[in-house]
């Protein structure tokens, strides 16, 4: 999956620099950070609903939509996939890093 994210990031960065007509990616960049954040939130909700409904095919599609919008957000904020990969690798090396139960919300 790493190569897929890298390839997607490369395409998104090209769109950000070229501003191609009729490109949804370019539209998001032109609308700005608030639009990108709104779409990330919407897609996150759609992933949750698809997961709860148990439709695995739809869930996969919604996860792809969410990942796309997250990568657009990364490009907008200047975060490269390698930076995320470095953090994930470091987290993968940790042992015993379970967070303490949140006392204010027993459901988390």
pTM of the model as a whole? 0.83
CB-based contact 71:9 (threshold 8 Å): yes
CB-based contact 23:14 (threshold 8 Å): no
Long-range contacts of 12-19 (CB under 8 A, 24+ apart): 12/71, 12/72, 12/75, 13/75, 16/75, 16/76
In tens digits, what is the pLDDT along the chain, a chain of 108 residues? 568 999 999 999 999 999 888 999 999 999 999 999 999 999 999 999 999 999 999 999 999 999 999 999 999 999 999 999 999 999 888 777 677 666 666 666
Q: Of how many residues is the chain composed?
A: 108
Write the class of the CATH domain 2-80. mainly alpha
CB-based contact 69:36 (threshold 8 Å): yes
Domain residue ranges of the chain, discontinuous segments joined by +: 2-80
């Amino acid at each position: 999956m790493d190569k897929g994210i890298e390839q997607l990031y490369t395409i998104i960065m090209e769109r950000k620099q070229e501003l191609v007509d009729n490109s949804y990616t370019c539209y998001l960049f032109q609308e700005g950070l608030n639009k990108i954040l709104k779409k990330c939130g919407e897609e996150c909700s759609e992933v949750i609903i698809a997961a709860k409904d148990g439709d695995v095919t739809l869930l996969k599609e919604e996860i792809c939509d969410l990942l796309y919008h997250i990568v657009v957000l990364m490009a907008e904020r200047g975060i490269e996939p390698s930076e995320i990969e470095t953090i994930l690798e470091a987290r993968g090396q940790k042992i015993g890093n379970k967070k303490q139960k949140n006392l204010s919300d027993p459901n988390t």
